């Protein structure tokens, strides 16, 4: 080897080393500039590394990757796949499709690695027609038996909510692996069919943390919070260690149950197993402690990270937590601090602030935040309108709330009108309460609470016949009153109490306490309102 060849080989090795150690787009651009100067930018080994870093790394830039791809004289299928893959997980997954079309126009033939990225893009875009077209190309070119592609199609169809077709693909796969089983399990879980997900789970030849996490998350999303915690206990016994995704779901279950001791135990699990305290996990901890009533512990987690984090999510969780527990001024002050840290509020921030105003009776402030939504370039969602109705109704401005609903650009929801009905009852505006109550039954004829709400209006003015008619209307339409239930956590054990349930082992003692409380309530209730309050209890 000549001296000049040695120098070139040494230079190439130097560039490869620098590209392997590259950590930012700024460094990549400098290396790319040097490669251009030396006429080496078209070299395949360098091109592949530039594309991979800019398209796939967290600190990359997918648009830069595509521009670089466009400058290559003869990009390979692998190069095109890299960019398609990068766009499939980016904020603009639709660009995967346009890059694929450009790939075909340039005469480059896709391979079995191209289609899974297109399926992923279609799943994220929630476009079944596009997904079907991609599936058609897969079948046309004989790739249906490819396991990697089959797994991607299962995920894609499940994302569309077409779990039957996803299951058909799964059943027809000649060879399945753990990813295949996890794909169909996750599909059932995401579609809300927890029973089928559990059946798949029990049939799995092997399970990993993804299997457990999918089933736990599906249980949480289906409102089966105690089942989710029971699954987590099974997971621990099985010896599978949880990851961030698992713990976020489990903490969410604790939040909904108000299971503070179990939530603390989950926090301890995170610490003892040295799981990375990501922002998502820290936000879940703040949310859990807030919803379980441990505001100081929520603040402790929040303060440990808020000064270093620029993400709005954890600030929203803390603002909302303070507001929920009546610490209204503290939540508003935290919003001011958030702005001092130059963290831009989002739609959830304003929802938390409006909720705080509702709890604190701050009508003027609520109007200010509602108007800020538009000024910050955001369009109010139905939840923001609902909060404004709640603010006005709680403060007694029920007629103004009613006019606000009539002038909204969107149709009112049952929860929105329910808040108004509650405000009418609390402030004695019974004429308007009857109008709202009838409207609620009209838009939610299968909701038991709507009939009960209107019956309460009639009972409050001693219109017993009308109240009885509500019961008959419920019966004639087959609407049944859902039994109320609550949870109490004692020594890290959750006890569920449901109306008319006689299965609890300490039922006699519980009934003694309830009788005592009921008698005290009767003594403390003024005679003027006693008929109305007891009517709701005994009539239904």
pLDDT digits (tens, 9 = 90+) for 102-140: 999 999 999 999 999 999 999 999 999 999 999 999 999
> Residue 524 has what pLDDT?
63
Distance (Å, whole) CA 383 – CA 245: 27
Q: In DSSP terms, which residues pair with 487 in a beta bridge?
A: 496
> Residue 433 has what pLDDT?
76
> Residue 519 has what pLDDT?
80
How far apart, in Å, do the first and last CA atoms of the chain sit?
95
Q: Which of 445, 396, 438 minimizes the C-alpha distance to 417?
A: 438
Question: Would you list the DSSP string of 467-512?
Answer: HHHHHHHHHHTT--PPPPEEEEEETTEEEEEETT----TTHHHHHH
> Residue 527 has what pLDDT?
47
> Residue 538 has what pLDDT?
36
What are 355's two structure tokens? Answer: 């909720």
Distance (Å, whole) CA 312 – CA 461: 48
> Residue 461 has what pLDDT?
61
Containing H/E element for 438?
A: helix 430-443
Distance (Å, whole) CA 56 – CA 22: 13
> Residue 532 has what pLDDT?
42
> Residue 132 has what pLDDT?
94
**Residue 110 has what DSSP assignment?**
P
> Residue 427 has what pLDDT?
82
Pseudo-torsion of CA 173, 178, 180, 181, nearest 10°? 100
pLDDT digits (tens, 9 = 90+) for 443-466: 766 565 566 666 667 666 667 766
Question: Would you list the DSSP string of 220-268?
Answer: HHTT-HHHHHHHHHHHHHHTPPP-HHHHHHHHHHHHHHT-HHHHHHHHH
CB 485 within 8 Å of CB 497? yes
> Residue 448 has what pLDDT?
59
Distance (Å, whole) CA 419 – CA 396: 12
> Residue 104 has what pLDDT?
95
> Residue 483 has what pLDDT?
55
Q: In DSSP terms, which residues pair with 509 in a beta bridge?
A: none
What are 94's two structure tokens? Answer: 């639709």
pLDDT tens-place values along the chain, 540 residues long: 554 545 555 566 666 777 777 888 888 888 788 778 777 667 777 788 888 888 888 888 999 999 999 988 889 999 999 999 999 999 999 999 999 999 999 999 999 999 999 999 999 999 999 999 999 999 999 898 899 999 999 999 999 999 999 999 999 999 999 999 999 999 999 999 999 999 999 999 999 999 999 999 999 999 999 999 999 999 999 999 999 999 999 999 999 998 999 999 999 999 999 998 888 999 999 999 999 999 999 999 998 885 565 688 899 999 999 988 889 999 999 998 888 888 889 999 999 999 899 888 899 999 999 999 888 888 899 999 999 999 999 988 989 999 999 898 988 888 888 888 888 878 877 788 778 777 876 776 656 556 666 666 766 666 776 666 666 666 555 555 555 556 666 655 666 666 666 666 777 777 788 788 878 776 665 544 444 443 443 322
Q: Which of 324, 164, 206, 22 minimizes the C-alpha distance to 35?
A: 22
What are 61's two structure tokens? Answer: 């830039």
CA 199 to chain CA centroid, nearest Å? 24
Query: Please, what sign has the CA dihedral across residues 404, 406, 408, 413?
Result: positive
What Cα–Cα distance (Å) separates residue 473 from each residue in 438, 453, 480?
A: 12, 13, 11
φ, ψ for residue 493, nearest 5 deg:
-115, 130
Distance (Å, whole) CA 396 – CA 174: 66
> Please, which residues have CB within 8 angstroms of residue 6's CB and are 6 or more apart in sequence?
none
Question: Would you list the DSSP string of 143-188?
Answer: -TT-HHHHHHHHHHHHHTT-HHHHHHHHHH-SS--HHHHHHHHHHH
| pTM reported for the whole predicted model | 0.76
Q: In terms of C-beta distances under 8 Å and separation of at least 24 residues, what long-range contacts does 455-463 make, across chains too?
A: 455/536, 455/539, 455/540, 456/425, 456/532, 456/535, 456/536, 457/421, 457/424, 457/425, 457/430, 457/433, 458/434, 459/531, 459/532, 459/535, 459/536, 459/539, 460/425, 460/430, 460/529, 460/532, 461/430, 462/531
What are 106's two structure tokens? Answer: 């340039």
> Residue 510 has what pLDDT?
77
């Amino acid at each position: 080897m000549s001296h000049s060849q040695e120098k070139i080989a040494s230079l190439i090795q130097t560039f490869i080393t620098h590209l392997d150690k590259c950590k930012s787009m700024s460094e990549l651009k400098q290396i790319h500039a040097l490669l251009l100067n030396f006429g080496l930018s078209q070299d395949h080994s360098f091109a592949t590394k530039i594309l991979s870093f800019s398209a796939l790394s967290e600190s990359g830039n997918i648009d830069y990757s595509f521009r670089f791809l466009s400058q290559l004289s003869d990009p390979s299928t692998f190069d095109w796949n890299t960019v398609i893959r990068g766009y499939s997980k980016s904020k603009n997954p639709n660009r995967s499709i346009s890059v694929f079309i450009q790939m075909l126009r340039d005469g480059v033939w896709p391979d079995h690695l191209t289609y899974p990225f297109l399926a992923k893009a279609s799943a994220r875009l929630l476009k079944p027609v596009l997904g079907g077209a991609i599936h058609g190309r897969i079948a046309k070119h004989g790739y249906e038996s490819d396991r990697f592609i089959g797994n991607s199609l299962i995920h894609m169809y499940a994302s569309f909510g077409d779990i039957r077709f996803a299951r058909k693909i799964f059943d027809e796969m000649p060879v399945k692996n753990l990813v295949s089983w996890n794909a169909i399990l996750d599909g059932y879980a995401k579609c809300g069919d927890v029973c089928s997900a559990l059946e798949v789970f029990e049939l799995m030849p092997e399970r990993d943390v993804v299997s457990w996490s999918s089933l736990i998350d599906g249980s949480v999303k289906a409102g089966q919070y105690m089942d989710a915690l029971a699954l987590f206990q099974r997971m621990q016994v099985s010896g599978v260690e949880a990851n961030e995704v698992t713990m976020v779901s489990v903490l969410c279950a604790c939040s909904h149950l108000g299971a503070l001791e179990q939530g603390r135990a989950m926090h301890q699990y995170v610490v003892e197993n040295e799981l990375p305290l990501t922002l998502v996990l820290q936000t879940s901890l703040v949310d859990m402690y807030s919803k379980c009533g441990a505001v100081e512990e929520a603040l402790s987690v929040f303060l440990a990270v808020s000064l270093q984090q620029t993400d709005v999510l954890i600030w929203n969780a803390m603002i909302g937590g303070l507001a929920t527990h009546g610490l209204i001024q503290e939540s508003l002050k935290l919003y001011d601090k958030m702005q001092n840290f130059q963290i831009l509020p989002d739609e959830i921030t304003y929802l938390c602030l409006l909720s705080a105003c509702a709890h604190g009776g701050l009508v003027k402030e609520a109007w200010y935040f509602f108007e800020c939504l538009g000024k910050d370039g955001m369009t109010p969602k139905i939840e923001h309108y609902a909060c404004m109705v709640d603010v006005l109704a709680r403060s007694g401005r029920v007629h103004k709330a009613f006019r606000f609903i009539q002038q909204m650009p969107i149709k009112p929801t049952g929860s929105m009108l329910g808040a108004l009905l509650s405000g009418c009852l609390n402030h004695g505006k019974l004429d308007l309460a009857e109008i709202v109550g009838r409207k609620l039954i009209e838009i939610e004829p299968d909701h038991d609470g709507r009939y009960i709400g209107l019956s309460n209006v009639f009972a409050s003015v001693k219109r017993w016949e009308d109240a009885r008619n509500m019961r008959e209307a419920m019966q004639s339409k087959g609407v049944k009153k859902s039994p109320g239930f609550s949870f109490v956590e004692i020594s890290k054990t959750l006890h569920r109490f449901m109306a008319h349930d006689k299965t609890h082992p300490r039922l006699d003692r519980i009934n003694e306490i309830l009788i005592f409380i009921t008698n005290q309530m009767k003594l403390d209730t003024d005679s003027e309102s006693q008929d109305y309050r007891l009517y709701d209890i005994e009539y239904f």
